[in-house]
Each structure stands twice: as C-alpha cells, then as structure tokens.
Structure 1
C-alpha cells in the first residue's frame, strides 16, 4: 500500500515537473516572435485575433477581450496589417465571438470590408490551422495576450506557418491567476495534439482574403 502511494506521488511530481519545464520551454522558443511595439513588428497582410468572451459571468467586461480588441485596432491603425481575421467560438446562435469582435472593431474605425470572420475558432489550434487551410495564409501576425501568443506561435510554427505575435496588454496576476494556471495544462495538451496530429473540429470551403 505504502509502496503504491510512493509511486503515485513520484509520478505526480514528475508530471508537475514536466508541465513546468514545458511551459518555460515554449516561452523561450517563441519569445523572439512576440512584439510589444507596433514600430518593431513586421508588416503582414493579415492579423489573426484570437477570440474570447466579451463578458464575464458577473456581467463585467472581460479585460482579456478589451485589451485584445485595443491591440488589434492599434496594429491595424499603424498599418502593420491590412486585414483582420477574427477567430472565435460561434457554437450557438446566442454566442458569437467573431461577430462581437467585428462590431467593436468597426466602432473603433476599422472598415468592415477589412474584417473576415472565422466562426469555427473553437480552440487556439483550430484558429491557427484554419488561418492556413481555410483562409490561405502562410504568413500572419497573431494578436492576444503574451501567454496565449506563445502557444499560438508554437503551434503555428510547428504547422509550417511564418507567424509572429503582437502582444495585447496583460491583466494583473490577481485578475488572471486561474487563466495562467490553465495555460500550464494547455501547453501540455498542445504537445499531445502535435504529437498525435490533432486537426480542427471543422474545416470547410476555402475563403480568399483580398
């Protein structure tokens, strides 16, 4: 009994150590491709904005969402992308992340004809792979918070994409503590997805961005 418990504890420690090491490995591998200043980032045709809910369960604005929209507008206004591809969850008629992002970006001044929507960006892997397979992009700039960009860039570059990231403003640790914890697990799952060749939930007809 005690021997079995010791083995289980050892396995848990090994898994925890691997999870932490993987998190920092992904961070290090992708750091050269993450930009925080519009002056430094290369010009790309398309900026891929990764979706999230606009509102929290308590009805307040989700700061992750607010800061991503602001970053997407900054990048577009600086002339560093010509089009914005908004990728998010539209799993039901009542929940439509891409449409909500488009509405708010148009209000900021982005022309509607410069915006394309990906309604099947259910996961980061789906958003990145569909940008290539459905929307025909081999080179793009991804927009999200730095921790999220690391995973998106790592995925994209392992899928053959020339992908950079423009960092949206971070939230405070107290605000995003649980999100960061989940990111450790998400990066481990990402490695498994890459290992087993996970594909997007949906593909579909190709869409030309022009």
Structure 2
C-alpha cells in the first residue's frame, strides 16, 4: 500500500508538467539530461540513451534551451555516461561550449540536487523518458527547483517492462530518501559556472 501510495503521489503531483511536443514546451535556459548507459550487453545501443539524446537535440535546435547539463555516472574509465552524452550531442551538431558535464550524477537525486547546488540552476527542463521525468520533477519540488519535463521517446512495455517495474520501486525509494532518510548526494564540491551564450 505504501509503495502504491508513493507512485500515485508522484503521478498526481507531476502530471501537468510533462511535455512531448517541442513546440508546446516553454523555453528555459538550461536542460538537465539524466544519464544512462550508452551500450547494453553485446555492445547493443541502449535506446533509452539514444532517445534522450535525440530529445535534447530537438530542444536545442528548436531554440528552447541554450545550455545542457549532461549528468551521469563516471564510476570507471570504461563507464562514463557524461562523456558519452557529450560525444553523442556533438555528433548531432551541438557545440561543445553549450554542454557542461556532471560526473557525479550517480542517481537521479544526485543529478537534480547537484544541478542546483553545483551548477546554480533552479529553473530547468529535465530530459528523460516520462516515467523518469516524473520522479525527477518530484525530487526537484522538494528542493525548490522549478522543473518541467521534456519526454524522450519511450520503449514499448514488452521491451521496457523491467525498467517499468524498477521505476515502481524507485518512486517509493525517492519518497523514503526525501521525507524519511533525508538522503544527500554522494558528492557535492566546487561550484561550476554555466557560461552565457
């Protein structure tokens, strides 16, 4: 019941702040792109990764954002989500100077909090799949960040059912982290300035 209530809470609180139409979403200076692995087993491309990159490129080229924070995990030299995102964005014509890398986005909570505390951004577009955007906006609300979500293309239920199930429990964990455990990001550190464009 508690897990179900957590999911319903997040759904209700965030339902009016998700956009899938690039023409309908309000413009903001910065987009926060949430990381995931570029490759799956056997070097297959991760479509969650590809579709997030495609979505943020669409925002940038439509003039809806001026800067991108690519936030993800950088735990080993072989697993560097921010750099993978940067390379993929640049391959689609996004200039390097329009991208800032957050190497300590180990979890969604870390990415959202660091966006405010390290990059000084509290009015953002979050880019991920809709199910993920909802949780990220919920976390943003707790920290006083004005966030809306731009939904990257999702996978079919049959292709993404494991992720959907994992998200169900991740939402309960988000409520637990924020309201019970008061979980903090693993790392904070020095401020990073977003350049004017």
Provide the TM-score with structure 2 as the length reference: 0.96
> 1:41 and 1:157 mapped to 2: Cα distance?
19
2:107 matched residue in structure 1: 123
2:81 matched residue in structure 1: 97
> 1:29 and 1:132 mapped to 2: Cα distance?
21
Query: Which has more radius of gyration?
Result: 1
Deviation sequence 1:127-152 (CA, Å, 0-9, x none): 00000000000100000000000000
SS at match of 1:81: coil
SS at match of 1:61: coil
SS at match of 1:193: helix
> 1:181 and 1:20 mapped to 2: Cα distance?
12
Deviation sequence 1:78-115 (CA, Å, 0-9, x none): 11110000000001122100000000100100001000
2:12 matched residue in structure 1: 28
SS at match of 1:117: strand
In structure 2, the gaps of 5 or more residues are none
How do residues 33-112 of structure 1 correspond to structure 2 at under 5 angstroms?
A: 33-112=17-96
Backbone CA RMSD of aligned residues: 0.8
In structure 1, the gaps of 5 or more residues are 1-16
1:6 matched residue in structure 2: none
How far 1:199 moved relative to its partner?
0.7
> 2:21 and 2:129 mapped to 1: Cα distance?
13
